[in-house]
Amino acid sequence: MSKTLFDKVWDSHVVHHIENGPDVLFIDRHLVHEVTSPVAFLGLKNRGIKVLYPERTFATADHNTPTRNQHLPVKDKLSANQLKALEENAKAHDIPYWGLGHEKNGIVHVIGPENGITVPGATIVCGDSHTSTHGAFGAIAFGIGTSEVEMVLSTQCIMQPKPKSMRITINGELNNAVTPKDVALYIISQLTTSGATGYFVEYAGEVFRNMSMEGRMTVCNLSIEMGARGGMIAPDSATYEYIKGREYTPKDKDWDKAMEYWNTLYSDNDAAFHKEISFNASDIEPMITYGTNPGMGIGIQSGIPTAKAMDAGAATYQKSLAYMDFNEGEAMIGKPIDFVFLGSCTNGRIEDFRAFASIIKGRKKAENVTAWLVPGSHKVEEAIKAEGILDILNESGFELREPGCSACLAMNDDKIPAGKYAVSTSNRNFEGRQGPGARTLLASPLVAAAAAVTGKVTDPRELMELQEA
Amino acid sequence: MAYDKFSILTSSAVPLPIENVDTDQIIPARFLKATERKGFGDNLFRDWRYNSDNTPKEHFVLNNPIYSGKILVGGKNFGSGSSREHAAWAVYDYGFRCVVSSFFADIFRNNCLNIGVLPVQVSAEYLDKIFKAIEANPKTEIEVNLPEQRISILETGESESFAINDYKKQNMLNGFDDIDYLLNIKNDIQQFAQNTPL
């Protein structure tokens, strides 16, 4: 029978199927962080059991960690407590723990691929919704709640009904300055934040084939923002080139054996999806959001839609614009901004810093802008230094922070103050997401860079043309 | 951990007719720093419920004494965003045992089911009827009957059936959780693990 890529990976991991109920799904890799795991470990303690497969479990600290002075004790008592709990739990259960200062430390979805934990055809979970990132490698990867973290720690399985399948195909060539982030924000703007709820998405077509692995990670990362459980892209030569030789990827005979499996990972020609959607690459412009969910995005040159044009309830829409202090019909271009945040599991990798640097090079940070540039991991930080990007940043008046989730969810001190506008490369513009009262404009690293040097919402193409001229 | 059994719940309800209520609203990230599962109800809808000086916002429904009950009724796409189970814990800890909406985000729905809060998905029309009934009479009683998979507005008699898979239904009725089930088949899982390619 013909199968989709998703079917192939899911079906090969089903330990048990319960009639009119969920599947018992075996999990190959479990990523653990400090915020969603302590209660799960407590559950194991109460049951008197140990982690079943510590060798399939990896722990890091990222969500609540400071992005400055990581060599000093963490000041916030509650955060320090969570970090201590994870360290102790990891030790008690023989799980590798990459805490603050460790060379492999970083955002959980950045370090998974970096260290070869993420491989094609695997099932990967983490108590974090952006686990969908790992789907870029042809893995089934999704976020779970703490009860499920406890399940995976204790039995390496979760129980979930199989989601429906959706394929999103984009062919054609992308316009200048349109990045993977823009592709994702465009899709979400078309589908809304609940448009893919209940589905697992496969991204297909020329645009994704031609995308780098880091770009694919950005796209898959944002799958959850349209409600999808996850998103995935069939592995190809780019995938194998990326993973080969990394610490945890299979070696030698194991690689050959894995490759036999990986070579089967594509959707069969006549495989049926529950839903098929396609877009044209040429319709996508550099994007920016104007509201309080990631579906409220527009091409940067467009005006804010009117309530009448929206599918969502008018009251909810107006509440959202009131929070942002924006009006229907206004242009986004030229709006003054206060903060720029480059980082997160969405856009905190080396290609994102390269893109940011390409715009700010030879320019100065705008005086009215506070910029927080936060690498996704120490390895990203090292690459920023090695490639000379740090020098470019410093010459333009920017400084680099230490790795972590930072202002994406503002659990640490990196909070955007109430009422201030932040152009942010992260993934959510919900009310208060980046700090109580903070106003977030989601965009690509190029748009963030253009805002950082002009102090307002600016089309990066204008600055790129000047550079070329 | 096992949780409370759920069979038939009859209660007044608290209306929150806003769409796309995300988990950052249900519980903001800065309140996720506990290492134990307690006290989350105090911060349920924190930034909608309290001003920055911690005084209550009068107009928010949880601060309005005429609304109370064990059922929370929310607009479409309830619980979108983060996977934080803390959102479901906050709903539970505040005293809700059931959330009604015309559409739920996946992970939030799962999280609720895993801790014994019943997510009841109804049609958009029926959701509207509930909001109207509560508007007309804030003490309107709603019955959520899990064995029969039916929700009813007692005053008007208007009712609708709702879906839940048999496995989860039995879990809710008996207060079982998935780990009990999984630990029971641990040998099968270990055998399966030996034959996985990765």
DSSP string for A253-270: HHHHHHHHHHTT-S--TT
Can you give the pLDDT at residue A313? 79
Residue among A22, A39, A411 minimizing CB distance to B37: A39
The answer to whether A154 contacts B183, with C-beta atoms less than 8 Å apart, is yes
Question: A359, A425 in Cβ contact below 8 A?
Answer: no
The answer to whether A227 contacts B52, with C-beta atoms less than 8 Å apart, is no
Can you give the pLDDT at residue A312? 59
Can you give the pLDDT at residue A465? 79
Q: What is the pLDDT of residues A60-119, one digit of tens each?
A: 999 999 999 999 999 999 999 999 999 999 999 999 999 999 999 999 999 999 999 999
Instruction: Quote the ipTM score.
Output: 0.96
Which residue in A has a C-alpha nearest to residue B115's C-alpha?
Answer: A147
Entry pTM: 0.97
Can you give the pLDDT at residue B4? 86
> What is d(CA A308, CA A192) in angstroms, rounded to the nearest whole number?
16
Q: B172-192: b or e for each residue (b if 16 or more CB lie within 10 Å)? A: beeebbbbebbeebeeebeeb
> What is d(CA B187, CA A155) in angstroms, rounded to the nearest whole number?
10
H-helix or E-strand containing B151? Answer: strand B150-153
State how far residue A296 is from chain B, nearest Cα, in angstroms.
12
Can you give the pLDDT at residue A469? 61
Instruction: Report residue A369 as tokens.
Output: 């802008």
Name the stretches of chain B with pLDDT < 70: 1-2
Measured torsion, CA atoms of residues B77, B82, B88, B91, in degrees rounded to the nearest 10:
-70
Which residue in B has a C-alpha nearest to residue A408's C-alpha?
Answer: B29
> What is d(CA A441, CA A418) in angstroms, rounded to the nearest whole number?
14
Backbone angles phi, psi at A232, to 5 degrees: -145, 160
Question: B142, B130 in Cβ contact below 8 A?
Answer: yes
The answer to whether B28 contacts A146, with C-beta atoms less than 8 Å apart, is no
Can you give the pLDDT at residue B3? 79
> What is d(CA A400, CA A374) in angstroms, rounded to the nearest whole number?
6
Name the stretches of chain A with pLDDT < 50: none
A123 DSSP β-pair partners: A140
What single string gives the DSSP state of each residue in A304-352? Answer: PPPGGG-SS-HHHHHHHHHHHT--TT-BSTT-B--EEEE-HHHH-SHHH
Helices in A95-224 by DSSP H: which ranges? 108-114, 146-155, 180-191, 206-209, 213-221
The answer to whether B185 contacts A15, with C-beta atoms less than 8 Å apart, is yes
> What is d(CA B98, CA B159) in angstroms, rounded to the nearest whole number?
16
The answer to whether B198 contacts A121, with C-beta atoms less than 8 Å apart, is yes
Residue among B20, B80, B106 minimizing CB distance to A229: B106
The answer to whether B80 contacts A418, with C-beta atoms less than 8 Å apart, is no
Can you give the pLDDT at residue A315? 85
